[in-house]
């Protein structure tokens, strides 16, 4: 390790020791977590230096929320820590967008087709997902299903993907909730045996290594609180994060600063910005009422968040809000972790 890095690591250690002595006892766990994160950053920088890469880490924000959406288009589960894997955020068996509602012929059903999906709350109860919907009894869905359950062929944005059927009880629950004359089914993506979709099949800018289960296009979508605040300052009725469904929420930065974070280091994981998230009518579904308006906040976003004309082939008329990231390095991240922009000085 170089002298400068040894000095850097030594300074970190001294700072942590000093802070521990002065820190209120009830806040020590948070400080210890920050210390672990800083040690990981120093080790990572040393490893990259050995490869001949002159890198600078610039803190640009703090992780304020981590959100996992187990069932596509249903409400999220807020977690304090998660593993950032190739397929997105994991918290044990709770995995981001690894469950999907489909029609009998396997086509996906989202809040675009059934806006009241956004009102279905999901929580963890033991080894099951617990679903709650207005006028419905609770539904428990085991996160690990019998291998005897049918594997369904599904279609998500034109791409083929499989899912294991979660059973007749789940089918009846969703069919009844939507008051549908045709059956709906809940399926589960099993990462150990099923082939993921390639993000490139949905958006051309993604790399061959970027893979997903049932998300629209990307394993990670990041959005800053200040970008949302900027949007709300222009709206007659404010909207929430629920309209945009990010996985990683960042605070402590300027509005739309995330547009320029091409490489991000947070916790033990590293992310690569691929493209902006072009927004669709799902953002106009009110997450509190389940009503689809097709108007706001989309209309307002179109007044100041359109893409450059040279990128119209990619985004068409969709305004840009939030950023899609691929996973460069897997690892754990936590609420409260510093978010660093990685700058290569070579």
CATH number at residue 309: 2.40.33
Residue 35 structural domain: 3-53
Residues 178 and 267 occupy one common structural domain? no
Quote the tokens at residue 288: 């509190």
Q: Which letter, b or e, does each residue of 186-221 get, where b requires 16 or more Cβ atoms within 10 Å of its Cβ?
A: bbbbbeeebebbebbbbbeebeeebbbbbbbbbbbb
Residues 99 and 229 occupy one common structural domain? no
Domain total in the chain: 3
Query: Does residue 86 form part of some domain?
Result: no
Residue 161 is predicted with a pLDDT of: 98
Which residues, at least 6 apart from 240, have a Cβ–Cβ distance to it below 8 Å? 228, 287
Residues 321 and 238 occupy one common structural domain? yes
At 145-178, the pLDDT tens digits run: 999 999 999 999 999 999 999 999 999 999 999 9
Which residues, at least 6 apart from 252, have a Cβ–Cβ distance to it below 8 Å? 60, 61, 62, 64
Residues 229 and 258 occupy one common structural domain? yes
328/277 Cα distance (integer angstroms): 19
Query: Does residue 324 form part of some domain?
Result: yes
Residue where a domain terminates, one of 170, 195, 220? 195
Task: Report the predicted TM-score, pTM, of the whole model to 2 decimal places.
Answer: 0.85
Query: Which of 145, 130, 157, 155 has its CA nearest to residue 216?
Result: 157
Query: Does residue 330 form part of some domain?
Result: yes
Residues 100 and 29 occupy one common structural domain? no
Residues 162 and 43 occupy one common structural domain? no
Residue where a domain terminates, one of 195, 213, 240? 195
Q: Which residues of the chain have pLDDT under 70?
A: 1-53
Query: Does residue 58 form part of some domain?
Result: no
Residues 208 and 332 occupy one common structural domain? yes
Residue where a domain terminates, one of 168, 195, 222? 195
Residues 212 and 191 occupy one common structural domain? no
Residues 297 and 327 occupy one common structural domain? yes
Query: Does residue 127 form part of some domain?
Result: yes
Query: Does residue 237 form part of some domain?
Result: yes
Residues 20 and 47 occupy one common structural domain? yes
Residues 111 and 206 occupy one common structural domain? no
Query: Does residue 209 form part of some domain?
Result: yes
Query: Does residue 287 form part of some domain?
Result: yes
Residue carrying the six token digits 């967008």: 97
Residues 173 and 282 occupy one common structural domain? no
């Amino acid at each position: 390790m170089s002298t400068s890095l040894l000095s850097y690591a030594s300074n970190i250690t001294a700072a942590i020791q000093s802070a521990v002595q002065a820190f209120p006892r009830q806040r020590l766990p948070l400080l210890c977590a920050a210390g672990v994160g800083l040690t990981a950053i120093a080790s990572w920088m040393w490893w990259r230096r050995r490869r001949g890469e002159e890198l600078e880490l610039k803190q640009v924000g703090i992780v304020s929320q981590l959100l996992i959406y187990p069932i596509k288009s249903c409400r999220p589960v807020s977690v304090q820590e998660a593993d950032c894997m190739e397929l997105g955020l994991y918290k044990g068996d709770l995995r981001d967008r690894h469950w999907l509602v489909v029609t009998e012929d396997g086509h996906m059903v989202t809040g675009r087709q059934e806006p009241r999906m956004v009102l279905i709350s999901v929580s963890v109860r033991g080894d099951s997902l617990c679903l709650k919907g207005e006028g419905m009894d609770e539904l428990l869905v085991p996160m690990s299903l019998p291998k005897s359950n049918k594997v369904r062929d599904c279609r998500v944005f034109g791409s083929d993907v499989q899912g294991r059927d979660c059973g007749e009880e789940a089918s009846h629950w969703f069919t009844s909730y939507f008051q549908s004359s045709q059956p709906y089914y809940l399926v589960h993506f099993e990462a150990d045996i099923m082939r993921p979709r390639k993000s490139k099949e949905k958006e051309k800018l993604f790399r061959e290594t970027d893979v997903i289960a049932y998300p629209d296009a990307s394993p990670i979508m990041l959005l800053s609180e200040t970008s949302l605040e900027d949007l709300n300052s222009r709206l007659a009725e404010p909207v929430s994060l629920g309209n945009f469904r990010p996985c990683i929420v960042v605070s402590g930065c300027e509005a739309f600063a995330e547009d320029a974070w091409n490489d991000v280091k947070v916790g033990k994981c590293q992310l690569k910005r691929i493209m902006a998230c072009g927004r669709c009518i799902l953002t106009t579904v009110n997450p509190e009422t389940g009503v689809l308006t097709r108007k706001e906040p989309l209309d307002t976003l179109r007044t100041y968040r359109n893409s450059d004309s040279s990128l119209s082939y990619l985004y068409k008329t969709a305004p840009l809000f939030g950023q899609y990231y691929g996973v460069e390095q897997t690892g754990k991240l936590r609420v409260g972790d510093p978010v660093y922009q990685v700058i290569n000085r070579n």
